[in-house]
C-alpha cells in the first residue's frame, strides 16, 4: 500500500463548458462535452468519498460551474459534509440572488477570474464582453460578506498591466490576489507563441509585484507564481505528485494534477469504476511519481529534490516525451536547450499567430 498521506483538497471540475474563450486555459483542447459529465448523484458520491478520504476543502471549478443547474445542490451537499466550499468562477452569470442562495447553502469563499485591468483588455483576452459583469460580481461578493480571491493568469498580453491588475483587485475588495504566470498545458500550450512573456516584461513586473506585496501586507495577500521557462529551477509543482490534492474531471477521470491527461502514457482511472480511496492509494497513476525512487540523474542526487520534487511531470512529458525526465526548465536538465530554443524562437515578434480562442468543438 502507498505511504501517501491523505489529501486535503479536491478540485471538482464540474464542467468544461464556459462562457469565456480564454486562450491560456489549461483545460484539455479536447473538452468534455455536456452529455459525458458526471450526474448530480455521481458528484454527491464523489464528495462523500473525498470526505471519507480526508478531504477538507472542495473547490467547485470548471469551465464555469455556474453553468451546472445543480450547483446549489452540490454546494449544499459539500457543506453538509463539513467541507470548506470554494466557488471558482468567471463571474458571468453570478447574480446577487444566485450568490446569496449559494452563500446560504454553504459556499464559504469565491475565487473570481480577471483577465486584465481594463475593460478593453479583459474582454479581448476573454473573447466576450465580461469585464462589467466581473466588477458587478465582485460587488455582490463583497456585499454578501464572502472572502474574495481574484485570480489573474499573466502572459505577454497583460503582463505590462500588472500594476493596474493589482489596483483593480484592491478596488474589488479582494483579500487575496493570485498572479499566476501561464503554465503551458492544454489551450495555453497551443497558444504559447502568443503568451510567452519576454525577459524585459518580467524584469519590469517583478519589482512592481514586490512593492505591492509590501504595501498591502496585512490587507491583501499577493501570491506570485513565477514564469518558470525563464527560471534556473522549476517550481515545486503541486508540492509533489499526488501529495496534497486530487482533481476529478467533468467525466469522472481522477487526476494527480489538473493537467495530468497530457501524459498519454499514464493510465487514468475513473471514479465511475473505482473508489477515490483505491485510486489515491493504489492506482498506478497516483503512485507513478510519488517520493524519489522514480527519479533519475541529475534529480536523484540533487539536494533540491525535496524542494521542487523534480519539477513538473506534465511539462517534462510535453517537452521530452518522457514523464520521468528532469523538468527541462531546470538548468541542470540535459534537455534545457529545448526550453532555450523555445524562448529564442517563440518570443520573436515576427509572424506571431492569432490566439486560438478556447471553444467546444
- Residue positions in the annotated binding site for [4Fe-4S] cluster? 18, 22, 25
Distance CA 158, CA 165 (A): 9
61 - beta bridge partners?
13
Residue pair 85/60 in contact (Cβ under 8 Å)? The answer is yes
Distance CA 177, CA 166 (A): 8
The strand pair at 148-154 and 109-113 is best described as: parallel
Residue pair 15/34 in contact (Cβ under 8 Å)? The answer is yes
Q: Please list, in sequence order, all residues whose beta carbon lies within 8 angstroms of the beta carbon of residue 1, skipping any fewer than 6 positions away.
A: 281, 282
Residue 142 burial (CB < 10 Å; 0-12/13-18/19+)? middle
Residue pair 231/19 in contact (Cβ under 8 Å)? The answer is no
* Binding-site residue ranges: 18, 22, 25
Omega into 298 within 30° of 0, i.e. cis?
Answer: yes
CA dist 6 to 9, 54, 179, 309, 311, Å? 9, 6, 28, 18, 22
Residue pair 149/174 in contact (Cβ under 8 Å)? The answer is yes
Per-residue DSSP letter, 253: E
SS3 255: strand
Question: Count of residues for the chain?
Answer: 361
The CB density around residue 272, as the number of other CB atoms within 10 Å, is 13
Provide the grid cell at 266: 499514464
Distance CA 76, CA 224 (A): 32
φ, ψ (nearest 5 deg) of residue 305: -65, -25
Distance CA 51, CA 43 (A): 12
Distance CA 172, CA 150 (A): 8
Amino acid at each position: 500500500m502507498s505511504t501517501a498521506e491523505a489529501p486535503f483538497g479536491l478540485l471538482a471540475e464540474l464542467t468544461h463548458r464556459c462562457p469565456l474563450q480564454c486562450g491560456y486555459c489549461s483545460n484539455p483542447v479536447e473538452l468534455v462535452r455536456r452529455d459525458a459529465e458526471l450526474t448530480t448523484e455521481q458528484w454527491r458520491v464523489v464528495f462523500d468519498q473525498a470526505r471519507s478520504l480526508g478531504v477538507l476543502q472542495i473547490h467547485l471549478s470548471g469551465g464555469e460551474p455556474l453553468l451546472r443547474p445543480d450547483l446549489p445542490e452540490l454546494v449544499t451537499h459539500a457543506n453538509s459534509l463539513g467541507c470548506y466550499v470554494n466557488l471558482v468562477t468567471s463571474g458571468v452569470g453570478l447574480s446577487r440572488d444566485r450568490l446569496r442562495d449559494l452563500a446560504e447553502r454553504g459556499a464559504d469563499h469565491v475565487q473570481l477570474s480577471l483577465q486584465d485591468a481594463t475593460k478593453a483588455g479583459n474582454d479581448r483576452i476573454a473573447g466576450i464582453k465580461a469585464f462589467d459583469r466581473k466588477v458587478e460580481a465582485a460587488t455582490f461578493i463583497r456585499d454578501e460578506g464572502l472572502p474574495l480571491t481574484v485570480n489573474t493568469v499573466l502572459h505577454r498580453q497583460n503582463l505590462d498591466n500588472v500594476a493596474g491588475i493589482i489596483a483593480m483587485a484592491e478596488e474589488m475588495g479582494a483579500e487575496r490576489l493570485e498572479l499566476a504566470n501561464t503554465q503551458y498545458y492544454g489551450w495555453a500550450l497551443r497558444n504559447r507563441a502568443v503568451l510567452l512573456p519576454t525577459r524585459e516584461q518580467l524584469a519590469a513586473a517583478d519589482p512592481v509585484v514586490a512593492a505591492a506585496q509590501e504595501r498591502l501586507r496585512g490587507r491583501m495577500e499577493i501570491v506570485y507564481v513565477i514564469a518558470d521557462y525563464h527560471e534556473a529551477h522549476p517550481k515545486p509543482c503541486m508540492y509533489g505528485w499526488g501529495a496534497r490534492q486530487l482533481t476529478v474531471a467533468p467525466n469522472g477521470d481522477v487526476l494527480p494534477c489538473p493537467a495530468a491527461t497530457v501524459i498519454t502514457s499514464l493510465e487514468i482511472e475513473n471514479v465511475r469504476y473505482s473508489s477515490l480511496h483505491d485510486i489515491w492509494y493504489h492506482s498506478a497513476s497516483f503512485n507513478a511519481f510519488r517520493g524519489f525512487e522514480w527519479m533519475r540523474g541529475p534529480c536523484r542526487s540533487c539536494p533540491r529534490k525535496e524542494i521542487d520534487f523534480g519539477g513538473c511531470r506534465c511539462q517534462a512529458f510535453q517537452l521530452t516525451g518522457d514523464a520521468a525526465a528532469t523538468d527541462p526548465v531546470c538548468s541542470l536538465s540535459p534537455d534545457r536547450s529545448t526550453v532555450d530554443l523555445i524562448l529564442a524562437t517563440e518570443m520573436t515578434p515576427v509572424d506571431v499567430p492569432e490566439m486560438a480562442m478556447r471553444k467546444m468543438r
